[in-house]
């Protein structure tokens, strides 16, 4: 019995994550302190972009914007989506069938108890929204469901 207890203690000690195995955060090209982001962004932008929040559906004027142009990150102006890839998903958030390659990065979000594919700006790390596999089948089949407050629209000249 004593040997079993020692074995369990040894296994426990080697399987636990110690302080030396901390998660490392990706270094982004645009990197600011929380205080700097708070001075640059509105409360709602900060909540969505820096705290991975979600705006209310149908609250963004960009949801029904069908003008030609480019959607850029509201935090760092990185071009993220082109207007020709925007479609009305009926979800209440601006939706796109593809991103501008290399400017959007992906990760996993397990905050709701199941895994979703999260999207964030590849330059500043700002949370954008999520991508799902229920988009238009005639194109990519993807629905990039993006918080409008995370975007700025730059009209085509």
Is residue 130 within 8 A of residue 109, CB to CB? The reply is yes
From the CB of residue 106, how many other CB atoms can be counted at a distance below 10 Å?
12
Q: Order of strands, edge to edge, in the sheet holding 151-155?
A: 79-82, 69-73, 151-155
104-128 residue pLDDT tens: 998 776 666 656 788 999 999 999 9
Q: How crowded is residue 126: how many other Cβ atoms within 10 Å of its Cβ?
A: 28
Domains of the chain: 34-155 (2.170.150.20)
* pLDDT tens column, 15-74: 443 333 333 356 789 999 999 999 999 999 999 999 999 999 999 999 999 999 999 999
pTM to 2 decimal places: 0.80
**Helix, strand or coil, per DSSP, at residue 137:** coil
Active site residues: 145
């Amino acid at each position: 019995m004593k040997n079993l207890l020692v074995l369990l203690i040894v296994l426990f000690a080697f399987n636990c994550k110690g302080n030396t195995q901390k998660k490392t955060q990706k270094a982004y090209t645009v990197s600011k302190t929380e205080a700097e982001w708070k001075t640059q962004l509105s409360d709602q932008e900060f909540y969505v972009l820096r705290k991975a929040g979600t705006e209310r559906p149908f609250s963004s004027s960009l949801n029904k914007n069908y003008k030609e142009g480019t959607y850029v990150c509201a935090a760092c102006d990185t071009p993220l989506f082109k207007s020709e890839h925007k479609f009305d998903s009926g979800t209440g958030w601006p939706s796109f069938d593809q991103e501008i390659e290399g400017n959007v990065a992906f990760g996993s979000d397990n905050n709701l108890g199941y895994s979703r594919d999260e999207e964030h700006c590849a330059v500043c790390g700002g949370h954008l929204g999520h991508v799902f596999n229920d988009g238009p089948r005639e194109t990519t089949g993807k629905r990039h469901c993006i918080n409008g407050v995370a975007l700025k629209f730059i009209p085509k000249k």
